Structure 1
Amino acid sequence: MSFKIYVGNLNYQTTEETLRSTFEQYGEVESVKIITDRDSGYSKGFGFIEMAEQDAGEAAINALNQQELDGRQLRVNKANERGESRGNRGSFRGNRSSSYRY
């Protein structure tokens, strides 16, 4: 079962290959994905790593969080699974009464 890691505050020039080699020091890396803008194709400054084993993933998090890579101090932690809520993001509507017209 793979262990998913979030990596934030990436330098926009950091490549997936650089990220892979950085994390491989702690164990087998199954996948690396730097998130890019859909329109421009440029990095959004964060990405995800999947490591083969939880122990290796936790070791990588402990070793690399707050460490510098390509001139930026990384933020590294366990990735939230899709669907895990982090609050009510993006909801601007609130409760609307039927007496109001929009």
Structure 2
Amino acid sequence: MNNIMYLARRSLATPNSTQHLRCYCMPPSSSSAPNNKLFVAGLSSAVDEKSLKDAFSSFGEVSEVRIMYDKETGRSRGFGFINFSKDDEARCAKDAMDGKALLGRPLRISFALAKVRGGPVIVPRLSYVRDATSRNR
């Protein structure tokens, strides 16, 4: 199957012309690219790499499991990553395990986003607006 996405856009009509449709071709976005890495949140502090791998290995070959730990305390931060060898195995695991309990806590699973280094970080500024009632006090 072709992985090219087609976008259609209407051109603006002038009084003496008719509207017509223009089609643009673009490569697939990164969200439609195969992704075999899952982000798993809601992990119990009792979960370790072996128990997490055992829970997900029934869906396919798990190539890597990483649980994130706090540097100071050494305790689990409650989330981790699971790499599958194939993206369809990751999709099946996500669909089956999202919301299911592991050692008493429900898991929240999504596809992991690619790590971007050196990119700009945009933090929106919140403007403080006082309403009319607070000005009269």
Which bracket does the TM-score occupy, shorter chain normalised?
Answer: 0.7 to 0.9
The answer to whether the aligner puts 1:10 opposite 2:39 as a matched pair is: no
Higher Cα Rg: structure 1 or 2?
A: 2
- Superposition misfits of 4+ residues, deviation over 4 angstroms: none
- TM-score, normalised via structure 1 length: 0.80
Give the distance between the partners of 1:12 and 1:71, measured in 2 at CA. 10
Structure 1 unaligned regions, length at least 5: 95-102
Q: CA deviation at 1:51?
A: 0.4
Aligned to 2:84: 51
The answer to whether the aligner puts 1:77 opposite 2:95 as a matched pair is: no
Aligned to 1:24: 57
Contact 2:35–2:111 (8 Å) recurs in 1: no
Q: CA deviation at 1:77?
A: 1.0
RMSD: 2.5
Contact 2:35–2:87 (8 Å) recurs in 1: yes
Task: Give the number of equivalent residue pairs.
Answer: 91
- TM-score, normalised via structure 2 length: 0.61
Contact 2:94–2:109 (8 Å) recurs in 1: yes
Structure 1 range deviating more: 34-43 or 1-10:
1-10
Identity of aligned residues (%): 31
Aligned to 1:100: none
Contact 1:2–1:52 (8 Å) recurs in 2: no
Structure 2 unaligned regions, length at least 5: 1-33, 126-137
Aligned to 2:101: 68
Contact 1:2–1:51 (8 Å) recurs in 2: no
Q: Work out which structure has the larger RCO, using CA pairs closer than 8 Å and 6 or more positions apart in sequence.
A: 1
